[in-house]
Homo-oligomer: A and B are copies of this chain.
Amino acid sequence: MPAVDHLVCFALYAANRTTTQAYRVLLEPWNLTYPQYIALVTLWTDGDQSVTSLGEALQLDSGTLSPMLARMEAAGYVTRTRRSADERVVTVSLTPRGTALRTELAHVPRCIAAGSGLPDVDSARELIDALHQLTEAMKDLRDHPEPVIAASRAPRTTA
């Protein structure tokens, strides 16, 4: 077994890429990527909204979203219009075609859920909770990096 397989970070990294690959197979007929799909899920569920709002939901910044939304607009799934009340804000709206995808892609979450190997909703929620906790812990670490003490003897786990 490769050395990195003992690290939480690598298990996360590998699982994320493999999941993205599974989505790729499902989404390819619509020329959609996984990040584009979750943007659509957000728009379907929470409705048309600003770039910033979408970025907060997906935890992505404008450097990622601007080109991605431009591609989705070119594909005819969304439109981008500046609000007259505040010309800084761009509202991302679903087109009829983008709205129709909600029905066309209804099999996607079913395929993923059925193929996930997770036996029920509770085990899925447990995994989600564990990942959310890890995310929050890593945000702390990212935003408050402890000064490196060379001689530190922190408790040892294998993250």
Residues of A that sit less than 8 Å from B by CB: 2-26, 34, 38, 41-42, 44-46, 56-59, 107, 109-121, 123-125, 127-128, 130-142, 145-146, 148-150, 152, 154-159
Complex interface: chain B residues within 8 A of A45 (CB)? 3
- Copies assembled: 2
Q: How far is the CB of A64 from chain B (nearest CB, A)?
A: 10
Cβ contact of A138, chosen from B3, B19, B142, B154, cutoff 8 A = B19
Complex interface: chain B residues within 8 A of A8 (CB)? 116, 118, 124, 127-128, 131
If A7-B41, A11-B131 are given as contacts, then 15 extra A-B residue pairs at C-beta distance below 8 Å, sorted by A number, are A3-B57, A8-B124, A8-B131, A9-B19, A9-B34, A11-B128, A15-B138, A21-B138, A25-B145, A107-B148, A107-B150, A107-B152, A111-B148, A113-B159, A115-B141
Q: Who on chain B is nearest to A2 by CB?
A: B57
Cβ contact of A11, chosen from B118, B132, B158, cutoff 8 A = B132
Given contacts A10-B38, A12-B131, contact A140 B115 (CB under 8 A): yes
Interface of A is mostly: helix
Does the CB pair B110–A59 fall under 8 Å? no
Among A18, A113, A125, max chain B CB count under 10 A is at A18
Cβ contact of A127, chosen from B11, B22, B26, B44, cutoff 8 A = B11
